[in-house]
């Protein structure tokens, strides 16, 4: 009876193959961590770079003194492509509008309305907005405006595609292909931002 007990105790004290066993147990976690770090870093890098590009374009537009030519507006897509390297397709849309509120003198969620000056997407990568479409921004996405005040919005949309097409990417890491956007509201340094050739800014 002593021999089986002694053998069992010796088995418990035996550490042969322990490193191999721990390696087998930890290997899935190590693989997951490597895949997750790569994919999460790529997502946050894409969002961060796109955000910086949107603010750069908004700052560039806010400094324009005259109506921007159509060629200049379309060239902003090349600027965005240069500022967002990495192969992800980025679309941009510029929407300029002003507050019209004869009685309340403000535009918020309950009073006034927006008058669309222009909405366009460089190289037609996104659908331009209508005057009715931007009314939903009042008091939600755009701060309260005074009557006659003008703002413009730069929207970017990046179609993110993970560069590691594995089951681990979507199932374990939880990152699938998707669309990430930026919404940048800016006040022009002059009275308003207008697009050359449009009749709304006359």
5-29 tens-digit pLDDT = 777 666 666 666 667 777 788 887 7
Q: Is the pLDDT of residue 200 over 70?
A: yes
Contact 59, 189 (CB under 8 A): no
Residue 131 CA to its chain's centroid (Å): 24
Question: For residue range 25-46, what is the model confidence (pLDDT) as tens digits?
Answer: 888 778 777 777 777 787 888 8
Return the C-alpha torsion angle 80, 81, 87, 89, nearest 10: 60
Confirm whether 202 is domain-assigned. Answer: no
Hey, what are 134's tokens? 């931007």
Which domain covers residue 119, as residue numbers? 14-186
Q: How many domains does the chain have?
A: 1
Separation in Å, CA 98 to CA 9, 78, 116, 128, 187: 83, 27, 7, 17, 10
Confirm whether 106 is domain-assigned. Answer: yes
Helix then strand count (H, E) for the chain reads: 5, 6
> In sequence order, which residues have a C-beta less than 8 Å from that of residue 116 and are 6 or more positions away?
95, 96, 97, 129, 130, 131, 134, 200
Query: What values do phi and psi take at 185, rounded to 5?
Result: -95, 130
Average pLDDT over residues 151-173: 71
pTM (global) more than 0.85:
no
Confirm whether 110 is domain-assigned. Answer: yes
Q: Check residue 47 and give its pLDDT.
A: 86
Contact 160, 43 (CB under 8 A): yes
Q: Is the pLDDT of residue 56 over 60?
A: yes
Tokens 């019209």 sit on residue: 100
**Other Cβ atoms closer than 10 A to 113:** 14
């Amino acid at each position: 009876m002593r021999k089986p007990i002694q053998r069992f105790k010796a088995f418990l004290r035996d550490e042969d193959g322990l490193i191999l066993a721990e390696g087998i147990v930890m290997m899935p976690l190590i693989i997951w961590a490597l895949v997750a770090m790569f994919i999460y870093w790529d997502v946050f890098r894409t969002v961060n770079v796109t955000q910086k590009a949107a603010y750069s374009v908004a700052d560039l537009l806010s400094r324009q003194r005259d109506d921007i030519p159509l060629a200049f507006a379309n060239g902003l897509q090349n600027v965005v492509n240069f500022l967002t390297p990495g192969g992800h397709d980025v679309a941009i849309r510029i929407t300029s509008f002003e507050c019209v509120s004869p009685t309340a003198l403000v535009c918020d969620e309950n009073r006034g309305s927006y008058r669309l000056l222009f909405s366009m997407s460089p190289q037609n990568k996104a659908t331009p907005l209508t005057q009715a479409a931007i009314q939903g921004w009042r008091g939600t996405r755009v701060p309260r405006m005074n009557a006659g005040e003008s703002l413009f919005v730069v929207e970017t949309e990046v179609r993110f595609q993970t560069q590691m097409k594995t089951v681990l990417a979507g199932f374990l890491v939880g990152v699938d292909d998707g669309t990430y956007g930026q919404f940048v509201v800016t006040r022009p340094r002059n009275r308003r931002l207008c697009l050359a050739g449009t009749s709304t800014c006359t």
